[in-house]
């Protein structure tokens, strides 16, 4: 086979960016398009009104199924009749699917099974001898942002199959493609392992905080601090140490657009107050409700649906939350007797308190806990000096946990960026620089990507039937 002719679109030598491309992108490979290296198609959705189209044994892939590196099962199945009566098509195992519509644009997976797809998936079947499923998959992942940037439409942007087929690719020789894919497999597997370990740390920190709270309220946290001093605690219910205020049932007809904020149950989330959907009460009418005016540091507990997925709806009022008034079915703790307010927060944050509330709630639609039930919670309280020491130690340990959690978040951000960075390096040729130096015979002559592209062009030209010449007026 001869070398590519002078019309082949080949990149400049090593170290020179491709003309018209990203100035940071240095490539050594000829430029092709996705349409030249894979056979593309898209599927369709059989009519939902015909039950005979669904529940068959043909996997039907939708964009929601995309994302895993290899798809080995689908969320829905259709029948052969559905394929015959719709634009759904069969695609072979090893094809690479990419989402074209909406928020899923650019999500990519390799089909690990023979399957059909809906019309929102473009599917490329790599041309044998030109590229591989794995290389195409990684290239599409690298180009996700580029596809999103090319998308058109308002609320539901999309890319077309034509756009995908016209999308340029700097194509390495086949041998180098395999090296790139292998290196990406290895490196990204390491990234996934690191990410999994980082993702597991927040749950570990949550268990750490819970164990600290349990040690705090049981006396274990200050056992060494007490030394030989006898361990003394007052054992009683919360009612012995504190009282609670329960808010007023303000009338909705009295709500105004401005005024003093009303603290309702829906304004409380675990650890903080939030002021979405805020209701207000006229300042001039507050006089009769001054006793319900909150101050910074107040401990607040929602009595309706007090426990949600994120935890107990318990928070402390901050200066920026003020001014506000307490509303019905919201409790405020007050009048502490031999009880440090900060130590009370530890008691309430301890999972044992939430575990106590769960079986004592009433109501099925909206679980509710009464003030009497709250104050009936059994506790054992050390003297104020030990309470202060416990709070100090917990704050120190929680500060450490908070700092570690922030470090984990920062590391997660870097790891999430690492995947894209590795992909970008791969398709700039940086991962295989030494390999190219060591294997010049595998990237030149008939082994070059340019030669491969010329071969596929020739094969396609040979497979295309010649056009019939039009008859002229003088031809019989």
C-alpha–C-alpha distance, residues 256 and 281, integer Å: 6
Domains 31-170 and 234-381 agree in fold: yes
Strand ranges inside 50-134, DSSP E = 54-61, 70-71, 76-78, 90-91, 96-99, 108-111, 115-117, 121-126
Consecutive sets of 10 residues in the chain, 476 residues long: mean pLDDT of each? Answer: 40 37 57 94 95 96 94 95 94 97 93 96 94 97 93 84 95 94 96 95 95 94 84 88 94 89 94 92 91 96 94 96 95 96 97 94 90 96 94 97 96 93 94 92 83 79 69 53
- Residue pair 453/36 in contact by the 8 Å Cβ criterion: yes
pLDDT in tens, 273-312: 999 889 999 988 999 899 999 999 999 999 999 999 999 9
Alpha helices in 119-173 (DSSP H): 133-142, 144-150, 161-166
- Domain edges within the chain: 31-170, 174-228+383-430, 234-381
Edge-to-edge strand ranges of the sheet holding 90-91:
76-78, 54-61, 115-117, 90-91
What is the predicted pLDDT for the residue at 460?
Answer: 74
Q: What angle do CA 466, 469, 470 make, to 5 degrees?
A: 140
Helices (H), 219-319: 223-226
> CB-based burial of residue 448 (10 Å sphere; 0-12 exposed, 13-18 middle, 19+ buried)?
buried
Which architecture characterizes domain 31-170 according to CATH?
Answer: Alpha-Beta Complex (3.90)
Q: What is the DSSP string of 108-130?
A: EEEESS-EEE-TTEEEEEEPTTT
Fold of 234-381: Adenine-n6-DNA-methyltransferase TaqI; Chain A, domain 2 (3.90.220)
Q: What local confidence, expressed as pLDDT, does residue 473 receive?
A: 53
């Amino acid at each position: 086979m001869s070398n590519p002719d002078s019309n082949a679109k080949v990149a400049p030598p090593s170290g020179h960016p491709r003309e018209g491309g990203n100035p940071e992108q240095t490539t050594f490979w000829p430029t092709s398009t996705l349409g030249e290296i894979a056979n593309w198609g898209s599927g369709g959705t059989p009519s939902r009104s015909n039950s005979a189209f669904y529940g068959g044994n043909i996997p039907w892939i939708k964009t929601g199924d995309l994302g895993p590196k290899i798809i080995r099962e689908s969320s829905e199945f259709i029948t052969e009749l559905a394929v015959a009566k719709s634009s759904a098509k069969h695609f072979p195992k090893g094809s690479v699917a990419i989402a074209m519509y909406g928020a899923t644009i650019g999500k990519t997976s390799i089909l690990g099974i023979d399957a059909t797809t809906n019309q929102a998936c473009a599917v490329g079947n790599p041309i044998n001898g030109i590229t591989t499923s794995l290389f195409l998959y990684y290239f599409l992942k690298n180009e996700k942002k580029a596809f999103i940037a090319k998308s058109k439409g308002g609320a539901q942007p999309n890319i077309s199959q034509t756009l995908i087929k016209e999308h340029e690719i700097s194509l390495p020789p086949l041998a180098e493609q395999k090296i790139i894919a292998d290196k990406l497999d290895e490196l990204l597997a390491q990234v996934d392992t690191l990410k999994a370990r980082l993702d597991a740390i927040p749950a570990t920190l949550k268990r750490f905080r819970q164990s600290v709270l349990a040690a705090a309220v049981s006396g274990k946290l200050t056992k060494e601090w007490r030394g030989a001093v006898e361990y003394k605690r007052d054992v009683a219910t919360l009612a012995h140490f504190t009282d609670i205020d329960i808010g007023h049932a303000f009338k909705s007809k009295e709500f105004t657009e401005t005024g003093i904020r009303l603290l309702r149950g829906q304004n409380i989330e675990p650890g903080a107050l939030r002021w979405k959907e805020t209701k207000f009460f006229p300042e001039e009418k507050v006089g009769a409700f001054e006793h319900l005016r909150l101050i910074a540091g107040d401990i607040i507990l929602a009595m309706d649906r007090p426990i949600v997925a994120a935890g107990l709806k318990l928070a402390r009022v901050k200066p920026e939350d003020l001014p506000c008034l307490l509303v019905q079915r919201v409790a405020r703790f007050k009048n502490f007797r031999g009880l440090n307010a900060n130590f009370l927060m530890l008691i309430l944050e301890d999972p044992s308190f939430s575990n106590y509330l769960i079986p004592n709630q009433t109501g099925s639609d909206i679980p509710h806990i009464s003030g009497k039930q709250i104050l009936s919670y059994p506790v054992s309280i050390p003297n104020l000096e030990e309470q202060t020491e416990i709070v100090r130690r917990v704050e120190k340990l929680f500060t450490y946990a908070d700092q570690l959690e922030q470090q984990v978040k920062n590391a997660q951000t870097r790891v999430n960026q690492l995947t894209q960075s590795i992909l970008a390096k791969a398709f700039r040729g940086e991962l295989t620089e030494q390999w190219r130096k060591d294997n010049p015979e595998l990237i030149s002559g008939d082994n070059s990507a340019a030669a491969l592209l010329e071969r596929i062009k020739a094969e396609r030209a040979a497979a295309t039937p010649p056009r019939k010449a039009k008859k002229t007026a003088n031809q019989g």
